[in-house]
Structure 1
């Protein structure tokens, strides 16, 4: 009989601990900012690379059309994509939508590895650079995550950065 009582008490304690942990998780989830992810990405990417107010390092890169681009050409929208990245393919149409409003000369898209689908989608609205993960533009932005998007000001500093298009424009409005 004492073993049965000990087992019931132990199970009760485990259940109480489980309930406390579940309530803690729910409280943390409620503390996160609300809002649907309407730009195709399922969740925000970890903040990587340059922060608002900083500038990319010096770089020179060549686009798929042979145009030379330097760090002084990054006024507007800059996006980093990868061929194997599902969220990259999900936000690319939203990137294109915003790029169309800015004009091709104010948009740079960097694709890590060659991806015909992304290249075809981005080329009409952006100056596209295809380079490896250790390429000049990736290094200049300290970029280690895809997708990453940056809104660059006239003074060539980062105005907003994030892993979704909504990250850019919510920071600008705030």
Structure 2
């Protein structure tokens, strides 16, 4: 009989500890939910989202022509790639193929440190897009608030972001 009493007391104590821990977890979750989310999607960071306006930017393409928000206009497809990024290498051929089929303006930004071999990226993209080559965090990437690679944006005819993702957007008619 004393073993049974001890077992019941032990189970009761374990239930109380479990209850206290559960209350602590609930309080913590409520506290976190009340905090404004710094990043809804940790992979996306603070990048442009659907409905944002095309940001002002100005750059020179690898072909020597100027490019800006006014010259790009909309509809447009904009891709950001980083040299040595494995997801970028996987997405690059799909982006090029998609750019071949679209009637939209196409801008591609290749981010590479000085001395990194970026010619393969630039050569592939130059066949279908106006290409800007800059260091990571460069002016065009800053204007578009790019924080991860690859990033692909679709800009609508009205100059607003239709989609922003790390994969190719699905769009009707292209």
Q: Report TM bin, short chain.
A: 0.5 to 0.7
Aligned length: 126
Q: Can you give the 5+ residue segments of structure 2 that lack an aligned partner in the other structure?
A: 1-40
Distance 2:83 2:42 in 1: 16
SS at match of 1:169: coil
The structure whose residues are more often helix, as a share, is: 1
SS at match of 2:108: strand
Q: Can you give the 5+ residue segments of structure 1 that lack an aligned partner in the other structure?
A: 1-43
Of 99, 116, 121, the match for 2:119: 116
TM-score norm. by structure 2 comes to 0.67
TM-score norm. by structure 1 comes to 0.67
Deviations 1:15-61 (A, max 9, x none): xxxxxxxxxxxxxxxxxxxxxxxxxxxxx992241001002321100
Of structures 1 and 2, the larger Rg is shown by 2
| Counterpart for residue 127 of structure 1 | 130
Distance 2:135 2:69 in 1: 18
Change in 2 beyond 3 A, CA 1:93/1:45 = farther
Distance 1:95 1:134 in 2: 21
SS at match of 2:84: coil
> Over aligned residue pairs, what C-alpha RMSD do you find?
2.2
Distance apart, 1:74 and its partner CA: 4.4
